[in-house]
Chains A and B, each alone.
Chain A
Amino acid sequence: MTAVMKLEKVVRTYVMGDQTLRALDEVDFEANAGDLLAVMGTSGSGKSTLMNVLGCLDRPTKGRYLLAGEEVSSMSRDQLARVRNKTIGFVFQSFNLLSRTSAIENVELPLLYGGVPTAERHRRAKEALEQVGLGQRLDHKPNQLSGGQQQRVAIARAIVGRPKVVLADEPTGNLDSRTSIEVMAMFQRLWREGMTVLLVTHEPDIAAYASRVITMRDGKIRSDVKQEPRVADVEEAA
């Protein structure tokens, strides 16, 4: 079985003045279908950089990145856009919703760029919002939603195109513990439905819900552990 995502000696350096910083230092990594993977590590260890590379938002300085067997570094900008649109769903720590744009329109956006016809687009966006429990908030703008609700809109947007992989950079970083568990329950459901989910977290409590945990330090993966995930139960958190 080929890995969904595979990094081979990937380096990402930042040059600032006369200093170069290796945010990713020859990282070898594979994510397989069926992983619910938590990325941990201290601040500045390169977690976000890793996610951005995996999400085709950023390009490695050196090394190879194979997404579903395909070399990413040789892709054109249009092909990358297509990958971001169809194959990957990205959830940002800071939500990154379009302001002054309703929840449903935000969720429709990937489908819009994917060329899905209006009626179907609307139906699927509504479905995705219902999935994250926001069926009653379709026309709310981001500034009319709570942080947790905004994060759920962002998740709905990430999954509406039924991507193979969902990448989430600290999806619970801005949320209280109860809402965090709700969000994790959502990721677990997607994972059980067959999506590969990678998420960055600082909190061991959150990492406990994953089936695999990798830990980063100084741009390298220091440990990679498989575990039995704890089942996210919203009632338990209450």
Chain B
Amino acid sequence: MNPLQILRVAGRALMRNKLRSLLTTLGVVIGVGAVIAMVALGEGARAKVEASFASMGANLLIVLPGSVTSGGARGGFGSASTLTWDDLRAIQNELGSSVAYAAPQLRAQGQVVSEDTNWSTSITGTSPDYFLIRNWACTDGTTFSKSDVEGSNKVVVLGATVAENLFGVGVSPVGETVRIKNNPFTVVGVLARKGQSPMGQDYDDATFVPYTTFQTKVQGGPQKFIAGGIFISAAPGQVSRAQEQVSALLRDRHRLGEGADNDFSIRNMAEMASEQQDSAQTLAILLASIAAVSLLVGGIGIMNIMLVSVTERTREIGIRMAIGARPRDILLQFLVEALTLSMLGGVLGLGLGIGGAAIGAKFGWPTEIQPEVAMVAIAFSALVGVVFGLYPARKASQLDPIEALRFE
């Protein structure tokens, strides 16, 4: 018999018990659905991280005050006061070979008020280098300059989301005045849109002012310590060297003896990416366990139904053998039947998985469906069909023709 004929026989046998066949596939449907959702989630997380690499720059290092605690968690952003402005200047001046740019990042949350409306957003105090480090340019106006920093000028660069919410879409706010902590700031530029961070935070919902101005107008006076972090762009290909050198320099400047813990932490993109993937991983593990259990249960369901089917059709098997079916013909027939069942489950599961991923996306999980998932669905369901279909099919093929014909 050729494959098409085998398939026809199998299809017809399954069509005889439509509801039973459909119910049997349920386990595989759920299992494959979970596999698809898992893959979609993993792919989504990976794609997001890649996108954030691109938007943050792979050479980025962030120096934060305070040590990494034993659990790997750290305190709030800038929770400790260990980094000084002199540390920043030393990084800028002494590590020219591995560090391209270094900029402070001071941060606060606050209301930004325009003539008509107001918007609560983050306010970052930094230097012009910050925009180079993050590879972030203005689409309208310019970023503030070194002299703005030196003069503590009250100028502000708006993220695209802030500009839209305060001034509307398509209106240029450059030259307009906004009030931050009751001080008037002149808008000098609007930044290009960057989109969302892997954790769903809007990069464009932010405003930037010179760090000198930030200290006087937001923090209420200059301070010795940097109440935030230092953003560093390593020279191309120098990320790990820069990380080592910054660490050595700061240890030296902070007079940390051998064996003493760092009183700062340096994070690179690879570390941040893995943190971001962790949460996606947790859900993926959950889905993987659902998938494993459902595929197992689905497989056993298929095995059960196939065993029932072999018993029900013992006479048919006997007839086929009596007129010349070889054991392998019978084996193949029942195996293809099991495969058809499980692959039907696979196709339905593919639909379920894609639907599930779409729902997940609505709840903020980044997902990505690629054409390859169809292959995943087929592979998993085929595997289940073969593994659990083999025993009943073998049983059918090993029947004795005369016994099978006598079967009532």
Please tell me if B170 contacts chain A, counting CB pairs below 8 Å: no
For window 176-235 of A, CB contacts with B under 8 Å fall at none
8 smallest beta-carbon distances between A and B, as pairs: A85-B324, A81-B326, A113-B324, A58-B402, A110-B323, A57-B402, A57-B401, A96-B319
Contact bitstring B310-325, A, C-beta under 8 A = 1, else 0: 0000011011111111
Contact bitstring B393-405, A, C-beta under 8 A = 1, else 0: 0000000011001
B residues within 8 A CB of A110?
Answer: 323-324
Q: How many residues of A contact B (CB 8 A)?
A: 24
Beta-carbon contact of A85 and B323 below 8 Å: yes
> Which among B319, B321, B329 is the interface contact of A98 at CB below 8 angstroms?
B319
Contact bitstring A97-124, B, C-beta under 8 A = 1, else 0: 1101000000001101110000000000
- In the complex formed, the residue of A with least CB distance to B321 is A81
Please tell me if A64 contacts chain B, counting CB pairs below 8 Å: no
B residues within 8 A CB of A52?
Answer: 402
A-B contact pairs, 14 of them (CB 8 A): A57-B322, A57-B401, A58-B402, A81-B327, A84-B322, A86-B324, A90-B323, A92-B322, A96-B319, A96-B322, A109-B320, A112-B5, A113-B323, A113-B326
**What separation, in Å, do the CA atoms of A81 and B5 have in the docked complex?**
19
**What separation, in Å, do the CA atoms of A123 and B46 have in the docked complex?**
60
Beta-carbon contact of A81 and B325 below 8 Å: yes
Given A58-B402, A112-B5, A81 and B324 contact (CB-CB distance below 8 Å): yes
Please tell me if B19 contacts chain A, counting CB pairs below 8 Å: no
Q: Which of A52, A77, A97 has the most CB of B within 10 A?
A: A77
In whole Å, how far is A38's beta carbon from the nearest beta carbon of chain B?
Answer: 22
For window 303-341 of B, CB contacts with A under 8 Å fall at 315-316, 318-329
Please tell me if A157 contacts chain B, counting CB pairs below 8 Å: yes
Q: How many residues of B contact A (CB 8 A)?
A: 21
Please tell me if A18 contacts chain B, counting CB pairs below 8 Å: no
> Which among B318, B323, B327 is the interface contact of A77 at CB below 8 angstroms?
B327
Known: A52-B402, A78-B327, A96-B315. 8 other contacts (CB 8 A): A58-B402, A81-B324, A84-B324, A90-B323, A92-B405, A96-B405, A113-B325, A161-B324
**What separation, in Å, do the CA atoms of A87 and B320 have in the docked complex?**
15
Given A78-B326, A96-B405, A112-B5, A84 and B316 contact (CB-CB distance below 8 Å): no
A residues within 8 A CB of B320?
Answer: 109, 113
Beta-carbon contact of A109 and B323 below 8 Å: yes
- In the complex formed, the residue of B with least CB distance to A58 is B402
A residues within 8 A CB of B319?
Answer: 96-98
Q: Which of B12, B16, B318, B323 has the most CB of A within 10 A?
A: B323
Beta-carbon contact of B321 and A84 below 8 Å: yes
> Which among A90, A100, A114 is the interface contact of B322 at CB below 8 angstroms?
A90
